[in-house]
Chains A and B, each alone.
Chain A
Amino acid sequence: MKKPISKIIDGKRVIVKKPELLAPAGNLEKLKVAVLYGADAVFIGGKEFSLRSLASNFPISEIEEAVKFAHSHGCKVHVTCNIVLHNENLEGIKEYLMALDKAGVDAIIVADINIMMIAKSLNPAFEIHVSTQTSTLNSKAVEFYHDLGVDRVVLGRETSYENLRSIMEQSPVDIEYFIHGAMCINYSGRCMLSNYFSARDANRGGCSQSCRWYYDLFENGNKLNDETMPPFSMSSKDMCLINQIDKLIEIGVDSFKIEGRMKSIHYIATVVSTYRKLIDAYCEDPDNFVMSDFYKDELFKAANRATCEGFFDGSVDENDQLFNLRDEHPTQDFCMRVVAFDHDAMMATVEQRNYFKVGDEVEFFSPKHENRKMTITQIKNSADESVGVANHPMELLQIKVDFPLDVHDMARKLRK
C-alpha cells in the first residue's frame, strides 16, 4: 500500500509525502554546508569503490565524522560504492562495507550486483540504492532489483516525466530522480569514450569527459565542419527542473537528487537552499502555491553551465546541447563566508573566498534568513588594521555589517 502524497489537514491540502532533498558533498566542508543549507540527505564518495576518483573523497574516519554531523542535524548519509568492479577490485569489499555499516551510513549507492549482494549478506538492513550507472529506465528492471532486495533505484536521466509517472505507479521500491546538475550525454555506465581515447576507465571513476572534447565530423572522409563553425561536440547542458518540482512532488517521487560532488560550497549552498525553500513552500500549501522567478533567479547566482530540462518532456534537441564549452553563467561572485559574529560590535569574522573591497555591494544569504544586501564600509585584517581590499584567499577578516549574521552565512558580490 503506497503512502498518500497529500492529505486535507484543517481544511487545507498539504503534501505529507515530502521528497527527500539529496545533495552532493565532495568533502567534509561541502557536506556540512549541504546539511546546514537544508539537505535531507547527502551523498559522498569513499576512498574505495567510488566513481569521481578525482574528487576529494572521504576516508572512513571522515565518513564517521560526516555521519555524526549529518545525523545530529537529522540528515542521512549515502555513500557511493558505484564503480563497476574488475577482478582486481574484488578484494576488500566486505571489509569496506563492514566499515561503512559500522560508521552508521544510511545507504550505499551501488552499480555492481556483487556489491549489492555482499552488502545484503553482511546486514540485511543495509540500505541499497541502485546507481544511475545501471541506466534503469522501466518498472520491470526496477522489479528485478527489488527482487534482489534493494531499497531504492536511481533512474537513468533519460527517463521522461510520463515514464517516471508510470514507474512511480508500479514501483515496489523508492525512486530517486535527478533534478539538477550535469548530465552524461551517453547512457550512464555505457560510455567508453574515455577508455578508448585516454585509457581512463570511466566506470571506475577515471572518466576524462571525452564527450565534452572537440571533434571533427567527416562524411566518407570529407570534413563537414570548418573554422567558421563550432566543432562537433557531445556536451550536454546541465539539467535544471526548478520549474517542474510541483509535478514531481505530486507523483510522489521519493528523492530529488542534485548532482555535483566536485562543485563548490557556494554552488551547493545556493542550489540546496533554493530547492529547500521551493519544496517546503509548495508542500505547505500546494493548491495556492505560485511559482515565482525568485527560485530560478536564486539558482543562477551560482556558477553553472547553461541549463535545460533534459529528457523531462521526452525528447531533447540541439538546444539542449552545448557547442561552446565556455558557456558558463556565474551571475554573482561568491566572496566570503561567515565564521563568527560579534552582535555587540556588529562585526562579522569572515573567510575570504574571492576578491572584494570597500564599496562593493554584497548580498548575504543564509539557510535561516532571507537574502540581505549591503555595501562594504569597513574591512579589518587580523592585526585589526583597516584594509581597502580583501585579496588573500582564505584570509580571516572582519567586516562591519548592517544586520546580524549567523555562522555559515555566505556573501556574493553583486555585479554592477
Chain B
Amino acid sequence: MKFAITPVNSFDPVIFAPEIGIWLVGAPVFSLRTQPNFTYEQIERLNEIKKDKKIYVYVNALIEQHLLEKLQDHLEKLRVMDIDGVIFQDFAVYQLTREMDWNVELVYHPDTLNTNYASLNIYHGLGIGGAFLAREISLAHKQEIKANTALACFVQIHGCEYMAYSKRHLVSNYLKVIDKQVPVGVAGGLTIKANNIDAPSHIYEDEYGTHILSENVLSSIDNLDEYKMFDYGIIDNQFLDDALYCEVVKLYIKAMRDSGDYLEELKELDRSISYYKSFTYEKTVYRIDDVRRIDDEKANQ
C-alpha cells in the first residue's frame, strides 16, 4: 500500500516520501470536501514538481444538467495540464472523458456505493481504473473486496469521515428559522449532535450544498498492517490544519517503515482530537429481525 495524501505544503519534503503514491487535489470547481481547493495555476505547478508522484484531481460533485458545459470546460483544462487521474462520482464525468478521448485514469468515488467486488469488476471492465471503497463497511469486508478485484482500491485510513451530502443549505435554512447569523462555511466551526446520540458531527455549507462529516477522527496507525493489501491508503486532511496534517503524514510514514505503537504519539500531536475505529470492526444491519434485535438490546440497556 502507498499513501494518498493532499500536498498541503509543497515545501515540506514529506510529500515526496517514497511511501506516498498519489497527491489528491481539490480544484476550483466540482471538488467536494477538499481542503484547499487549488487554483488551476497551483495544480499546474504541482504537476511540474511532482517527480514520481501522481496527481489525481477530485471532480466528485454530483452534476446538475445545467452544469454540464461548465464540467466539460473544467475537464478540458485538466486535460491540458496532463494530470494523472480524475476522481469522480457522477457518470457524466466518465461519459465526457470518453467523448473527449482522454485516456486519464478514472477513479470511481461515490462515497457510499462501492460495497461489493462484483460491481467493481464491472466498472473495471468499463475502463475505470480505481475505486474508493465505502467507509461504512468493515475492514474484513474491504479486504474481501480487494481479494476479488484487480481494480486499484483506495481506502480511507485516517481522517474525519463523510456522512451525508445535501443540495439544500440546511444550516442557513435553520438559522433563518431561529433568527441567528453565524458563518456556515467549512471554517465556521459548526457541529450538530443528535439527542441521546454521542456522535457529534461537523456540518458546513458551500456552493454545492451541505456536508456532514464525523467529528471523531478515524485512525489506523495502530493497525496499518491490516491495510497493506490495498493499493492506496487515504490520509484525509479535512478539519486538520496544514502543519498538523504534515505531522500526521510523517507519523504514518514512520509507522509504515517501522511497525510499533504510534497511537500515543498521534494523540500527542493534538490532545483535543478524539480518535476512533468507526466501522473498522463493526457491521451495520438492515434486515427487520436484526433491527428489532438491536432496538430490544438498546431498550434493555
Contact = CB atoms under 8 A, between A and B. Distances in A.
Interface in A349-399: none
A211 B162 CA distance: 15
B55 to A, nearest CB: 24
Interface string A214-225: 111111110011
Contact of B193 (A83, A143, A196, A218): A218
Contact of A318 (B65, B66, B174): B174
Contacts of B177: 229-230, 318, 323
B188 interface: yes
B112 A117 contact: no
B284 A215 contact: no
A193 B212 CA distance: 9
B124 to A, nearest CB: 11
Query: Interface residue tally of chain A, by bracket?
Result: 35 or more
B156 to A, nearest CB: 13
A206 B291 CA distance: 7
Contacts of B301: none
Interface string B235-272: 00000000000000000000000000000000000000
A304 interface: no
B200 interface: yes
Chain B CB within 10 Å, residue with most, of A84, A221, A230: A84
B25 interface: no
A204 B286 contact: yes
Given A85-B118, A144-B95, A318-B176, A139 B68 contact: yes
B294 A199 contact: yes
A200 interface: yes
A141 B169 CA distance: 25
A289 interface: no
A137 B90 contact: yes
A220 B190 CA distance: 6
B64 A158 contact: yes
Given A90-B116, A190-B111, A192-B164, A200 B193 contact: no
A45 B92 CA distance: 29
Contacts of B201: 196
Interface string A33-77: 000000000000000000001100000000000000000000000
Contacts of B123: 113
Contacts of A138: 63-65, 67-68, 90, 92
A103 to B, nearest CB: 22
Contacts of B197: 197-198, 213
Contacts of B189: 219-221
Contacts of B174: 217, 232-233, 318, 321, 323
A195 B212 contact: no
Given A135-B62, A162-B66, A215-B193, A230 B164 contact: no
Contacts of B116: 85-87, 89-90, 112, 114
B62 A317 contact: no
A85 B112 CA distance: 11
Contacts of A54: 288, 291
A218 B215 CA distance: 12
Interface stretch (A22-30, A181-189, A265-273, A295-303): A181-189
Nearest to B175: A224
A191 interface: yes
Interface in A202-248: 203-206, 210-211, 213-221, 224-225, 229-234, 236
A140 interface: yes
Contacts of B168: 185, 236, 316, 320-321
Given A89-B116, A217-B203, A219-B189, 16 more contacts: A90-B116, A113-B119, A114-B118, A136-B91, A138-B65, A140-B96, A144-B94, A159-B64, A190-B164, A191-B163, A198-B294, A203-B115, A221-B189, A225-B178, A316-B168, A323-B177
Interface of A: 53-54, 83-87, 89-90, 111-114, 117, 135-141, 143-145, 156, 158-160, 162-164, 166-167, 185-187, 189-193, 195-201, 203-206, 210-211, 213-221, 224-225, 229-234, 236, 311, 316-318, 320-321, 323
30 contacts: A87-B117, A90-B116, A112-B116, A114-B122, A137-B64, A138-B68, A141-B90, A158-B167, A159-B64, A187-B165, A192-B163, A196-B161, A196-B201, A197-B199, A199-B283, A199-B285, A199-B294, A204-B286, A213-B194, A213-B195, A217-B203, A218-B190, A218-B191, A224-B182, A229-B178, A230-B178, A318-B177, A321-B168, A321-B170, A321-B173
* 8 closest residue pairs by CB, A with B: A206-B286, A140-B92, A163-B65, A144-B91, A318-B173, A204-B286, A220-B189, A201-B284
